[in-house]
A and B are shown apart, each in its own frame.
Chain A
Amino acid sequence: MSSIWEYANPRRFMATSGALLPWISAIAAICLVVGLVWGFFFTPNDFRQGSTVKIIYVHVPSAIMAVNAWLMMLVASLIWVVRRHHVSALAAKAAAPVGMVFTLIALFTGAVWGQPMWGTWWEWDPRLTSFLILFLFYLGFMALWEAIENPDQAADLTAVLCLVGSVFAVISRYALVFWNQGLHQGATLSLDAEQNIADVFWYPLITVMAGFGFLFLALVLYRTRTEIRARRVKALIAQERMA
Chain B
Amino acid sequence: MIGLLKRDLALAIRAGGGFGLSLAFFLIFTALVPFGVGPETGRLSEMAAGLLWLGALLACLLSLDRIFQLDWEDGTLDLLATSPLPLESVAALKALAHWLTTGLPLVAAAPVLGILLNLPGAAYPWLIASLFVGTPALSIIGTFGAALTVGIKRGGLLLSLLVLPLYVPTLLFGALAATRGAQGLDATTPLALTAGITLGAAALLPFAAAAALRVNLR
Contact = CB atoms under 8 A, between A and B. Distances in A.
Contacts of A171: 169, 197
B173 interface: yes
Interface string A132-155: 010011011001100110000100
Contacts of A108: none
A144 B162 contact: yes
Measured as residues with beta carbon below 8 angstroms from the partner, the interface class of chain A is: 20 to 34
B203 to A, nearest CB: 12
Interface string A156-171: 1100110111011101
B155 A147 contact: yes
A144 B169 contact: no
Given A163-B208, A165-B165, A175 B148 contact: no
Contacts, number: 73
Nearest to A134: B165
B70 interface: no
Interface in B193-211: 193, 197, 204-205, 208, 211
Contacts of B218: 153
Given A156-B215, A157-B148, A160-B208, A143 B158 contact: yes
A178 B165 contact: no
Interface string B171-201: 0110010000000000000100100010000
19 contacts: A140-B161, A144-B162, A147-B155, A148-B151, A156-B211, A157-B148, A157-B215, A157-B216, A160-B148, A160-B211, A164-B166, A164-B205, A164-B208, A165-B166, A168-B168, A168-B169, A172-B169, A175-B169, A175-B173
Interface of A: 133, 136-137, 139-140, 143-144, 147-148, 153, 156-157, 160-161, 163-165, 167-169, 171-172, 175-176, 178-179
Interface of B: 144, 148-149, 151-152, 155, 158, 161-162, 164-166, 168-169, 172-173, 176, 190, 193, 197, 204-205, 208, 211-212, 215-216, 218
